[in-house]
Amino acid sequence: MTAVDLHLNWFPHLYDASLISRANARVDYTFGITSREADSPDSLVVEVTPATGVRRWLGRFEVGTPAATATWGVFSLPDPARFLVVAGGQAYSVVASDPDDWDGFRKPFPITHVLRASDPALVLLVDFTNIAAIGPGGLAWSSERLSSDGIVVKALFGRSLVGVGWSAPDERDVEFELDLTTGKHRGGPRT
């Protein structure tokens, strides 16, 4: 397993979370969205201590892919009750005080980057072709295809993201600008 990012300082939150290094840890909850076995030794185990509600619990999160480009991490979200786990590019949003209330995101996948935007308050999930945003109410939007294969984020400023995507028909990188309030873009490659 590669390095795991812990970004709980992105937004105010009502829990604490930490990584458990023991792959064979006895867990209270298992999270997975595919037919693969979530109890594999490659899964990510997270300890969660809610500020209110249930007691401390351990969760095992199924890995999406072992690819080196896939992101691993635990992130606070704009909803202070929820946190995000990305395990090998597979994303899960969980209510800390009610771990039975969770969502697994089939797209974007595999997630290669997770970014924070402050205005509007969003967590951005980037894969090879698209970007999706999680806001205070959950999934805010998913972009149209921005690349044939590979997105490079160059800048986040104001309510915009500027990036570059590969255009296979043109055999070159093409710049695009994404509106963070709507998920709509200008420019970008022909895919």
Per residue in 10-68, pLDDT tens? 999 999 999 987 667 889 999 997 655 544 557 899 999 999 877 999 999 999 988 88
Decide if 124 is inside a domain.
Answer: no
Decide if 191 is inside a domain.
Answer: no
Decide if 115 is inside a domain.
Answer: no
pLDDT digits (tens, 9 = 90+) for 118-174: 989 999 999 999 999 999 999 999 999 999 999 999 999 989 999 999 989 888 999
Decide if 121 is inside a domain.
Answer: no
Decide if 125 is inside a domain.
Answer: no
Nearest CA to 78 out of 119, 17, 130 is that of: 119
CB 43 within 8 A of CB 88: no
Decide if 123 is inside a domain.
Answer: no
Decide if 58 is inside a domain.
Answer: yes
Report the domain count for the chain: 1
Question: Using CA atoms, how far apart are residues 65 and 112, in angstroms rounded to an integer?
Answer: 11
Model's pTM, two decimal places? 0.92
Decide if 160 is inside a domain.
Answer: no
